[in-house]
Chain A
Amino acid sequence: MAVDYIYPDYEIIRDYDRCIACRVCERQCANEAHEYLSDSKKMIADNAKCVNCHRCVSLCPTRALKIVKSDHTFKENANWTGKSIKEIYKQAGSGGVLLSSMGNPENYPVYFDKILLNASQVTNPSIDPLREPMETRVFLGAKPDRIERDEKGRLKKNLPPHIMLSMPIMFSAMSYGSISYNAHESLARAAAHLGILYNTGEGGLHEDLYKYGKHTIVQVASGRFGVHTTYLNSGAAIEIKMGQGAKPGIGGHLPGAKIVGDISKTRMIPEGSDAISPAPHHDIYSIEDLKQLVYSLKEATGYTKPVIVKIAAVHNVSAIASGIARSGADIIAIDGFRGGTGAAPTRIRDHVGLPIELALASVDKRLRDEGVRNNVSLVVGGSIRSSADVVKAVALGADCVYIGTAALIALGCHLCRSCQTGKCNWGIATQREDLVKRLNPNLGYKRLINLLTAWQHEIKEMMGGMGINSIESLKGNRLMLRGVGLNEKELEILGIKHAGE
């Protein structure tokens, strides 16, 4: 029907004075937006196929291309936006659920951007990280509530299993399958080099990457893909994924088209079959069931590894976290509603969950009120965009943060939010061999190292400015934060004062 034609959101603008018709753009675009007209020896483009990933723009040797937002518009309407109208056309045409990728892009408040940090003046010296030691090492895991001594009076090491990180940042779960082998290899090697951890996601662990096990979190999710004893024992920690910030309350779906070769082998499912992770774990219908899974995994690994329970930030997150803290978990990971995903129903992504800042503040407070904060470490993600977000999250009470989207951007992702098509031109969210090849892990892992090295420097600068020379003194140090433009209730939940107070 004519109504199904929707004018594209973005237009490819080509400067024909610059274009030499070298056809690089045509070869680089997996969406086939560019076309060479041999008769007129001219490049043209089909804007409807463009996802605005900037691959052609970045690789055009004569800088002849740019992508602009279309000025094509519906009649202005504050209620019925162009987006709402177009989505109705799409659904009326297809009868399907709308799909999207990456984090919630809607205009909800970003609390990190309404929080400011403190610095020392006069009464307390700031500390220069270039001259004095500035420590960012963190340990994750439960802490004992009493000490024990041997017969000589020496302290016994009664510490439950824990992990040590050079800085309070880890790469969050992204499965092999949802992202490419080269992306996974880049993450694994960067984590090993940086002294931090990356996370397998629910796709199992490719056998070539077992050697990075000391820097790997192995995930167990509702589909249990790729889970076996060797897998569990190969990592430094095990994560039970109960939920994901981008799609709280629902499971996952990796289409059969992506279940090819090593992915099928690693996930332990036949080639071409859809990998469907159920919404709940079918052996966990309540908190006491979770406890059993936590201890099953501990049994399987001889009580040598901490167990992380990852949940999406939802309305009663603090009560849930408080329950988890009493269920044998060593670490709780909370994923905010801006967390990324390779594919999620648009309505879920854009309308379910909570901002991570509020979830974190309320969980940290609840765990302290209940006196169980030392039972667990807190890791938060969704979304941490810069070192300033890391510092603010730690000051609100996090032990560590997870970054996913930021890591992918470092690898080349341009946030075109089209992962679900499997045609990622940057070689990240795709399994097409010719596309995967575009991401060189030898360069990719260095870019990740660069990013986090830069963030670590910035974290040290901010800490030094506050007169803090070790990250543990920043943890939960909410007096270092002030809100701007927040109402009393928001300040109360965040547990911070307003700027000027």
Chain B
Amino acid sequence: MREGMFRNISGCAISGIISRSGKRFSGKLIIDSISVMHERSNGLGGGFTAYGIYPEYKDYYAFHIFYDHRMAKKECEEFLEEHFDIINLSKIPTTKIPEIKDEPLIWRYFVTPLPTKLTDSQLDEREFVAKCVFRINTGIDGAYIFSSGKNMGVFKAVGFPEDVGRFYRLEEYEGYSFTAHGRYPTNTPGWWGGAHPFALLDYSVVHNGEISSYDANRRAIEMYGYKCTLQTDTEVITYIIDYLHRKIGLTLKEICSVIAAPFWSTIEGKPQKEREELEYLRNVFDSKLITGPFSIIVGFEGGIMALNDRLKLRSMVVGEKDDMVYVASEEAAIRVIQNDLDKVWAPKGGEGVIVTLEERKV
């Protein structure tokens, strides 16, 4: 059985680092952070997202693809050639280590949609790319695009996260933000695609928790053309964020008020304008409310957002030092890379911490 054929619930560790000034730093830092929380994973999944790592190809979508076999690669590449201009392609560099086994073929492509195909589709560029990703992931057996944004990339595998980091030689990449995930699934995933982070376009999510609203959220989001093939919480959360942010146009702060909505008793105590706005969001986007325990770090182009469920049923701590912001399931995972913090706090349930690069606003 592989991921997607059953519902796999997980406990986890998450960590995230961003430089607000956009200064690029090595992936070693995030490996050091997540490895402190070794006990929170069980060796059945680990992964990273890195933003700002492909400045030389920043205008192209970077597809990271797992292939189970050569036939899948051939079929997938035919599809890519039909729909995209492929600027560059290569194997993703890895180091063989005993802790990481059974790797699939792991390839990377820098692509841009073919103008004629894009015009014919009557879609905007990002929607076109997202649709193609869905087409490949659900239509080509043995091919799976696990990263599809610009100037960013996901690196994941079955194993402990620190080993996954070494396997992908993450210390050789430099980015302005990184997120990491160590997984403690209750069932054996048996497939690398099921590891986290989960990403669509430049949105990525690392998540710790098990949401009780899963099927309500899944059935709601599938109405808008998304297909939840993995049966994991992280997948559905990513689609909800993509839908609300990219398709509906809500701000990240508004998204927090939808997915981890304040309680009615809190809303009623707010000034009228704010109260009406919160009531509007809860009413209109009711099926996107996420209940049950979660802490998530959402990565996107130019920033990260950390958010806990409305009752704060999972631990999550934020620390700041100069232009650096750190988020982790445990404070120790921050202290190990920066012990001299200006500020450290545990955000309240439903209180989103949104950090963006200084030169941009989201």
Which residues 99-127 in A have Cβ within 8 Å of B in the complex? 120, 123-125, 127
* Cβ-defined partner of B265 (8 Å) among A120, A133, A374, A479: A133
Cα A147 to Cα B284 in complex, Å, equals 9
Which of B71-79, B133-141, B289-297 contacts its partner?
B289-297
* Cβ-defined partner of A147 (8 Å) among B213, B214, B249, B273: B249
Cα A147 to Cα B310 in complex, Å, equals 24
**Proximity string of chain B (198-216) to chain A, C-beta cutoff 8 Å, 1 when within and 0 when not:** 0000000000011011111
Q: List residues of A whose CB falls within 8 A of some B CB.
A: 120, 123-125, 127, 132-133, 135, 137, 139, 143-144, 146-147, 154-155, 157, 159, 162, 368, 371, 373-374, 466-470, 472-480
Once the chains bind, are A479 and B292 in contact (CB under 8 Å)? no
Once the chains bind, are A124 and B311 in contact (CB under 8 Å)? no
Enumerate chain A residues within 8 angstroms of B311, measured Cβ to Cβ.
Answer: 127, 132, 469
Taking the nearest CB of chain A, how far is it from the CB of B188, in angstroms? 15
Enumerate chain A residues within 8 angstroms of B213, measured Cβ to Cβ.
Answer: 468, 473, 477
Known contacts A368-B223, A467-B291, A473-B217, then 16 further A-B pairs from the complex at CB < 8 Å, ordered by chain A residue: A123-B11, A135-B264, A139-B286, A144-B284, A147-B249, A155-B280, A159-B280, A368-B222, A468-B292, A469-B311, A472-B286, A473-B216, A473-B289, A475-B216, A476-B215, A477-B214
Contact of B164 with A by CB under 8 A: no
**Proximity string of chain B (275-286) to chain A, C-beta cutoff 8 Å, 1 when within and 0 when not:** 011001111101
Q: List residues of B whose CB falls within 8 A of some A CB.
A: 7, 9, 11, 186, 209-210, 212-217, 219-220, 222-224, 248-250, 254, 261, 263-265, 273, 276-277, 280-284, 286-287, 289-293, 310-311, 313
Enumerate chain A residues within 8 angstroms of B280, measured Cβ to Cβ.
Answer: 155, 157, 159
Once the chains bind, are B292 and A368 in contact (CB under 8 Å)? no
Once the chains bind, are B215 and A125 in contact (CB under 8 Å)? no
* Cβ-defined partner of A476 (8 Å) among B216, B281, B291: B216
Once the chains bind, are B212 and A473 in contact (CB under 8 Å)? yes
Task: For B184, give the chain A residue with the smallest CB separation.
Answer: A123
Q: Given A132-B311, A144-B284 in contact, is the A368-B291 Cβ separation under 8 Å?
A: no
Enumerate chain A residues within 8 angstroms of B214, measured Cβ to Cβ.
Answer: 477, 479
Once the chains bind, are B265 and A472 in contact (CB under 8 Å)? no
Cα A154 to Cα B277 in complex, Å, equals 9
Cα A500 to Cα B234 in complex, Å, equals 25
Cα A472 to Cα B219 in complex, Å, equals 12
Once the chains bind, are A467 and B277 in contact (CB under 8 Å)? no
Cα A315 to Cα B318 in complex, Å, equals 56
Once the chains bind, are A468 and B223 in contact (CB under 8 Å)? no
Enumerate chain B residues within 8 angstroms of A469, measured Cβ to Cβ.
Answer: 291, 310-311
Enumerate chain B residues within 8 angstroms of A467, measured Cβ to Cβ.
Answer: 210, 212, 291-293
Enumerate chain B residues within 8 angstroms of A127, measured Cβ to Cβ.
Answer: 311
Give the A-B contact count at a CB cut-off of 8 A: 101
Once the chains bind, are A473 and B283 in contact (CB under 8 Å)? no
Once the chains bind, are A477 and B210 in contact (CB under 8 Å)? no
Cα A28 to Cα B216 in complex, Å, equals 51
* Cβ-defined partner of B291 (8 Å) among A144, A374, A470: A470
Taking the nearest CB of chain A, how far is it from the CB of B349, in angstroms? 10
Task: For A166, give the chain B residue with the smallest CB separation.
Answer: B264
Once the chains bind, are A137 and B215 in contact (CB under 8 Å)? no
Once the chains bind, are A474 and B216 in contact (CB under 8 Å)? yes
Cα A475 to Cα B291 in complex, Å, equals 12
Most chain B beta-carbon contacts within 10 A, residue among A155, A374, A473, A476: A473
Enumerate chain A residues within 8 angstroms of B219, measured Cβ to Cβ.
Answer: 368, 476-478
Cα A155 to Cα B212 in complex, Å, equals 29
Most chain A beta-carbon contacts within 10 A, residue among B9, B248, B311: B311
Taking the nearest CB of chain A, how far is it from the CB of B284, in angstroms? 5
Cα A71 to Cα B265 in complex, Å, equals 58
Could you show 11 A-B contacts with beta carbons less than 8 Å apart? A120-B212, A124-B209, A124-B210, A143-B284, A146-B248, A147-B284, A159-B280, A159-B283, A374-B223, A467-B293, A472-B287
Once the chains bind, are A473 and B291 in contact (CB under 8 Å)? yes
* Cβ-defined partner of B313 (8 Å) among A125, A146, A154, A476: A125
Q: Given A470-B261, A472-B216, A476-B220 in contact, is the A124-B283 Cβ separation under 8 Å?
A: no
Taking the nearest CB of chain B, how far is it from the CB of A152, in angstroms? 11
Once the chains bind, are A470 and B289 in contact (CB under 8 Å)? yes
Enumerate chain B residues within 8 angstroms of A124, measured Cβ to Cβ.
Answer: 9, 209-210, 212, 292-293
Cα A146 to Cα B224 in complex, Å, equals 13
Enumerate chain A residues within 8 angstroms of B212, measured Cβ to Cβ.
Answer: 120, 124, 466-468, 473, 477
Cα A472 to Cα B310 in complex, Å, equals 14
* Cβ-defined partner of B293 (8 Å) among A125, A147, A157, A374: A125
Once the chains bind, are B283 and A139 in contact (CB under 8 Å)? yes
Task: For A501, give the chain B residue with the smallest CB separation.
Answer: B6
Cα A473 to Cα B215 in complex, Å, equals 9
Cα A470 to Cα B287 in complex, Å, equals 10
Once the chains bind, are B215 and A147 in contact (CB under 8 Å)? no
* Cβ-defined partner of A479 (8 Å) among B7, B220, B222, B310: B7
Cα A371 to Cα B222 in complex, Å, equals 9
Q: Given A123-B9, A124-B292, A368-B222 in contact, is the A475-B248 Cβ separation under 8 Å?
A: no
Cα A480 to Cα B7 in complex, Å, equals 13
Taking the nearest CB of chain B, how far is it from the CB of A310, in angstroms? 22
Cα A479 to Cα B265 in complex, Å, equals 29
Once the chains bind, are B7 and A133 in contact (CB under 8 Å)? no
Cα A189 to Cα B216 in complex, Å, equals 34
Enumerate chain A residues within 8 angstroms of B222, measured Cβ to Cβ.
Answer: 368
* Cβ-defined partner of A472 (8 Å) among B11, B249, B289, B293: B289
Cα A374 to Cα B288 in complex, Å, equals 12
